[in-house]
Structure 1
């Protein structure tokens, strides 16, 4: 019997395809292979895109691979290629958009070592991937929507799309409509639009000039795939699984459950956002109901509302309610733009159970977050200052350099150590009441912005550890772009060395020994 979700998804797909066919939308090609377009009085079409390649190199040895290869430093960790096509059309008052992308990876010797390690530790048996590159290869219709105006103030967009609600860059307070695909990368430079996972939505914008603002709202009717919900991490033993789990395919003992009573993908979700200007400030107020971005474990030892189908646990994304606000404005005294963002989350789920797996010294506690699920309210705040620094005399740049500093904090409200909450399942480290991270970046500009060195840094002020990303972006021509960067991490002596342990790993401890050098080349068309 076909599930209700499958029936809803098929009906939505048929409706969108029929609408496009009725509009007479067909392909167009340019003679020189560049961006193709065609226009008439009531019809226009444009096709653009890119071909892109990545190469990354390990800058450190991987301790998980010591038994197989003690010299993983200097090995290629990624050889990846992507082709993206972006089609825009206009039929009368209706705008159409379709974006498709294909991704392929070469199995480097380093990835082959990780695949061998999955066999050695037994997690390849029963896992979902026969090849480790199955984690990274993908064909996807990323966006497919139509937008129509209703009068002079209202527009409605229907289809697979992205909505951005928030101000922060490295970490997200209010930008919670969508999850992110973090499986093949995790920290190096890129565009959120390409990592964000689009959803099938009905969204609208209503301009209200009398109040100097705009009302935006969306409804997600619940026709998305399971893989579209929440953040996706590299839990299948790949290059971006957190230390010490590289080469350990967690999917051998877990499933992702999108039919859980507290996190059913077929449930309707949505939100509303008001943005406007007042007293020289830009501001917004928003409410949304969504799915928790990061998954939690529904443990077989202490099931949460439903027994898991996985051997040890299922990954679930319980629903949350978020109330948020942003404000930004220019400070003449600092000659900078100051921004603030706040998000109050009701019923943020956390796993329970600090300590090592099946710790005998803690009665009734199985450790590493497998002791159940508990919900707490949280308050996430972000303070930001953006400023153009005049470094022309010091560094000889061609114009002032854009720089930004962000202070990001998440507080667990009503925090009680007796709740025994963990920071992340598969680790026995306790969650702290505050988690505070400071980030900063600046970009230098030379030769009319064709040569752009940059530097980003982040520090965990609560637990220690951080990252640094020196980079160089090059515009080689109108079509060719290049970038090189080093992603350097340090764990602040808080990193697990043993799987399923209660060692002191916190966020940057997860990235211990993951430093890398990344090259990217793009051909736009």
Structure 2
């Protein structure tokens, strides 16, 4: 009861603050409107206020623990619009959130999360009886229970036995931890690479906390109310726009401010829609892009040229994102949403560099004199500054770090085909890892420059009553982990495409009175100059597949005079052999009150197929021999659905227009 009482006090205070902030915004606008000269007022302020609660529950993770509450998010949103006169229009959308999960379920996501861990030492039982006393013969050891090692200066064997202890356990204690990947795989238990990852908020435990561009170093208060930060994320939209008449049927549209610019015609997959980064920490990939795109300060201009000799409509758009660089938000380890479990890898690697730590199953038994082919490996204690993330090199604000996009839209003379041609230069919104020493698991994090060229189209096949949507793009400058390269990365050209089909279809057993909207999409990715080779112990090279395929199908139907909407989305990653099922029902109780309930359920194949070169057998003198494991690179083969296979959820939400 005490936990709920504390939460009630906290949410009451935070809700009062959110209401006050949004009320000040709304009433301030209304006050400003009343202070304007009457001649300048062309319309009154229109302000809509919304409250939403989203409550999610999860089942067991890969450790067998029941997770329980995974979201108790309360959101207030204000949407304000006004015509300012002389053709100028204003819009502002403001959002504030308080997520109570960090207090209500603090043993999983809050100040009490994590605990002491045991790390794999699979060589111990294999060589039991022949080991010196200071090397454990147990299958698992606690933090600081591995073999102490230190840099040797020998390229052929860069690490060797060193004076113990290798790191200060007072700075990196065996508390508040989880083993890397333990919520989705059993690599640590099965002889794979792993290390301890701090999982508590950064004001409780600062280990491994780094700023990866707005995430990775958040306190509990930041996690509870993520919009209230130094980037003013509570401002979802804040812009003014105007259409200028150029004569002869031509117009110029200008919009300036914080905004989302949406390119592309397909759902779920971001082929062209890459101008705004995405906040995956809010609800992974399951929220609408409108709610998880991160708005940026931009200028967009559209020159509407009207009809031409071969086109009925022509438009040229220029977009300049002059905001400070912002990457995707992949969440923070110890929070409910971390796609690919990437943030746990990031935080654990940062902690290893800063404080040293114990690494599971990294020293092969043969290194201790066992005959070739002897299975098993030993946990080792490494000092700080040897393995992990050294620096996070976020691009600073400079003119050449801004991004510029150009798009030409056209519609055929008969109106049957709409298309676009797109070009964009931008910084990668996902991090790239550059090894600081050849073939060494020690990295700087960078965000390279990427150039994109692509296009889209949609048209109808009237004989099939089907709408077709197409997108495709080629990028230059993207970087991928490549264990064949001394820097452990390569720069590759990439082609991505999506084809989407939409059709209203009669399915009587689902809805005898209305058609069901069926939407299907197929995403394809090809990496040029893809490199994989067979090493002595396994496959090495680029972990991402040369050709990747993901398909989705969505069924949507309406009942009870369109007040009940049922949806089923199924997504399948063909490479990972992972599938997600997302059924939901939405009930419009009144014109102000809406309820929604649903689930997301994932399945996948045998996780052994995700094993890849983990660089335990990397050495500057020999490169990588290809020793395999699911961590850390198997997450890229598993993909978002494969790494979330133990994150099945049910949810309910309500939205009320105040």
TM superposition score category, shorter chain reference: 0.7 to 0.9
1:395 is paired with a residue whose SS is: coil
| Residues 1:239 and 2:238 are matched in the alignment | no
| Corresponding residue of 1:385 | 501
Give the direction of change, closer, same or farther, for the CA distance of 1:269–1:125 in structure 2 (3 Å limit). Answer: closer
| Residues 1:141 and 2:235 are matched in the alignment | yes
| Residues 1:98 and 2:92 are matched in the alignment | yes
Q: Could you tell me how far apart the structure 1 residues matched to 2:315 and 2:439 are? A: 44
TM-superposed CA distance for 1:43, in Å, is 4.2
1:25·1:89 contact (CA, 8 Å) conserved in 2?
A: no
Q: Could you tell me how far apart the structure 1 residues matched to 2:55 and 2:459 are? A: 40
1:258·1:264 contact (CA, 8 Å) conserved in 2?
A: no
| Corresponding residue of 1:77 | 70
Aligned mate of 1:516, from 634, 646, 649: 649
TM-superposed CA distance for 1:465, in Å, is 1.0
More deviation, 167-176/232-241:
232-241
Question: 1:477-492 alignment to 2 at 5 Å?
Answer: 477-492=590-605
| Residues 1:26 and 2:25 are matched in the alignment | no
TM-superposed CA distance for 1:444, in Å, is 1.3
| Residues 1:349 and 2:479 are matched in the alignment | yes
TM-superposed CA distance for 1:244, in Å, is 6.5
1:436 is paired with a residue whose SS is: strand
Deviations 1:100-143 (A, max 9, x none): 11111112554532442172346334344574563352222122
Aligned mate of 1:289, from 415, 418, 425: 425
CA RMSD of superposed structures (Å)? 3.4
2:530·2:542 contact (CA, 8 Å) conserved in 1?
A: no
Q: Could you tell me how far apart the structure 1 residues matched to 2:586 and 2:480 are? A: 39
1:220·1:269 contact (CA, 8 Å) conserved in 2?
A: yes
| Residues 1:168 and 2:266 are matched in the alignment | yes
2:566·2:585 contact (CA, 8 Å) conserved in 1?
A: yes
Q: Could you tell me how far apart the structure 1 residues matched to 2:505 and 2:456 are? A: 24
TM-superposed CA distance for 1:46, in Å, is 1.0
TM-superposed CA distance for 1:268, in Å, is 2.6
Q: Could you tell me how far apart the structure 1 residues matched to 2:428 and 2:399 are? A: 12
TM-superposed CA distance for 1:206, in Å, is 1.4
Deviations 1:218-237 (A, max 9, x none): 1122x33x5xx221112423
Question: 1:414-493 alignment to 2 at 5 Å?
Answer: 414-417=529-532, 430-493=543-606
2:330·2:339 contact (CA, 8 Å) conserved in 1?
A: no
1:167 is paired with a residue whose SS is: coil
| Corresponding residue of 1:506 | 638
Q: Could you tell me how far apart the structure 1 residues matched to 2:316 and 2:439 are? A: 41
Question: 1:90-239 alignment to 2 at 5 Å?
Answer: 90-92=83-85, 93-106=87-100, 107-108=102-103, 110-115=105-110, 116-117=113-114, 119-120=176-177, 121=196, 123=198, 124-128=205-209, 129=217, 131-132=219-220, 134-138=222-226, 139=228, 140-152=234-246, 153-188=251-286, 190-211=287-308, 212-221=313-322, 223-224=323-324, 226=325, 229-239=326-336
| Residues 1:44 and 2:44 are matched in the alignment | yes
Question: 1:350-369 alignment to 2 at 5 Å?
Answer: 350-353=480-483
Deviations 1:405-435 (A, max 9, x none): 0010010022222599xxxxxx998221011
Q: Could you tell me how far apart the structure 2 residues matched to 1:419 and 1:344 are? A: 29
- The gaps in structure 2 that reach 5 residues or longer are 1-24, 33-37, 116-175, 178-195, 199-204, 210-216, 229-233, 354-388, 612-628
| Corresponding residue of 2:364 | none
Aligned mate of 2:458, from 325, 328, 334: 328
TM-superposed CA distance for 1:95, in Å, is 0.8
1:441·1:457 contact (CA, 8 Å) conserved in 2?
A: yes
- The gaps in structure 1 that reach 5 residues or longer are 1-20, 30-37, 305-310, 355-363, 366-370, 421-426
Q: Could you tell me how far apart the structure 2 residues matched to 1:313 and 1:329 are? A: 47
Give the direction of change, closer, same or farther, for the CA distance of 1:316–1:350 in structure 2 (3 Å limit). Answer: same
Deviations 1:164-215 (A, max 9, x none): 0012211111001111000131132x32111101111110111111232211
1:135·1:183 contact (CA, 8 Å) conserved in 2?
A: no
TM-superposed CA distance for 1:44, in Å, is 3.0
TM-superposed CA distance for 1:25, in Å, is 7.6
Q: Could you tell me how far apart the structure 2 residues matched to 1:25 and 1:381 are? A: 46
| Corresponding residue of 1:62 | 61
Q: Could you tell me how far apart the structure 2 residues matched to 1:484 and 1:449 are? A: 17
| Corresponding residue of 1:400 | 515
With normalisation by structure 1, the TM-score equals: 0.78
| Corresponding residue of 1:87 | 80
Q: Could you tell me how far apart the structure 1 residues matched to 2:104 and 2:342 are? A: 18
Q: Could you tell me how far apart the structure 2 residues matched to 1:270 and 1:62 are? A: 43
2:107 is paired with a residue whose SS is: helix
TM-superposed CA distance for 1:87, in Å, is 1.2
Q: Could you tell me how far apart the structure 1 residues matched to 2:317 and 2:278 are? A: 22
2:464 is paired with a residue whose SS is: coil
Count of residue pairs the alignment pairs up: 455
Q: Could you tell me how far apart the structure 1 residues matched to 2:263 and 2:407 are? A: 8
Larger Rg computed on CA atoms: 2
| Residues 1:376 and 2:457 are matched in the alignment | no
